[in-house]
Amino acid sequence: MADAHPAAVRPSAATKASRKSKFETRLRRFGVLFALPWIVGLLLFNLYPLVASLYYSFTNYSILEPAEWVGLDNYRMLLEDGTFRISLYNTLYFTLFFVPLSIVIGVGIALVLNLKIRGQSIYRTLFFIPSLVPPVATTIIWLWLLNPQFGLVNYWLEKVGIPGPAWLGSEAWSKPSLVLMSLWGIGQSIVIYLAGLQDVPQDYYDAAEVDGAGPLLRMWHITLPLITPVIFFNLIMGMIGALQNFTLPYTLTNGKGSPANSMMFLVMYLYINGFGYLKMGYASAMAWVLFLIVITLTAILFATQKRWVFYQGKE
Partner 1 sequence: MTNAGKIGRPLGRALAHIFLIGVGAFFMSPFLWMVSTSLKADDELFLWPPKWIPSTILWSNYPDAIEYIPFFTYLGNSLLIALLATAGVLVSCPIVGYSLARIPWRGSKALFAATLAVMMIPGQVTMIPIFITFKHLGWVNTSIPLWLPAFFGAPFYIFLLRQFFMGLPKELEDAARIDGAGEFRIYAGIMLPLCRPALLTVALFQFMGSWTDYQGPLIYLSEESQYTMMLGVAAFRLQHGAEWQMMMATLVMITVPVILLYFFVQKAFIRGITFTGIK
Interacting positions 20-39 with partner 1 (CB under 8 A): 24, 26-32, 34-35, 37-39
223 near partner 1 (CB under 8 A): yes
Measured distance CA(186)–CA(138) in Å, rounded: 12
| Of residues 264 and 283, the one with the C-beta less far from partner 1 | 283
196 near partner 1 (CB under 8 A): yes
CB 90 within 8 A of CB 263: yes
100 near partner 1 (CB under 8 A): no
308 near partner 1 (CB under 8 A): no
168 near partner 1 (CB under 8 A): no
Measured distance CA(159)–CA(135) in Å, rounded: 29
Of the listed pieces 7-15, 77-85, 90-98, 142-150, which binds partner 1 according to CB under 8 A? Answer: 142-150
Radius of gyration of the chain (CA): 27
191 near partner 1 (CB under 8 A): yes
Strand partners, 60: 68
Q: How far is the CB of 8 from partner 1 (least distance, A)?
A: 28
Helix H or strand E encompassing 194: helix 187-198
| Residue ranges with strand state E in the chain | 59-60, 68-69
Q: Rule CB under 8 A: which of 255-294 touch partner 1?
A: 267, 270-271, 274-275, 280, 283-284, 286-288, 290-291, 294
CB 102 within 8 A of CB 188: no
Q: How far is the CB of 79 from partner 1 (least distance, A)?
A: 19
CB 288 within 8 A of CB 241: no
Angle at the Cα of 32 from the Cα atoms of 26 and 36, rounded to 5 degrees: 140
133 near partner 1 (CB under 8 A): yes
Of the listed pieces 112-120, 168-176, 257-265, 300-308, which binds partner 1 according to CB under 8 A? Answer: 112-120
171 near partner 1 (CB under 8 A): no
229 near partner 1 (CB under 8 A): yes
The one-character DSSP state at 311 is P
| Of residues 178 and 192, the one with the C-beta less far from partner 1 | 192
Q: Tell me, residue by residue from 45 to 84, as one string, x for binding to partner 1 by CB under 8 A and - for no binding.
A: xxxxxx-xx--x------x---------------------
162 near partner 1 (CB under 8 A): no
246 near partner 1 (CB under 8 A): yes
The one-character DSSP state at 273 is I
CB 228 within 8 A of CB 308: yes
The residue among 241, 195, 202 whose CA lies nearest residue 218 is 202
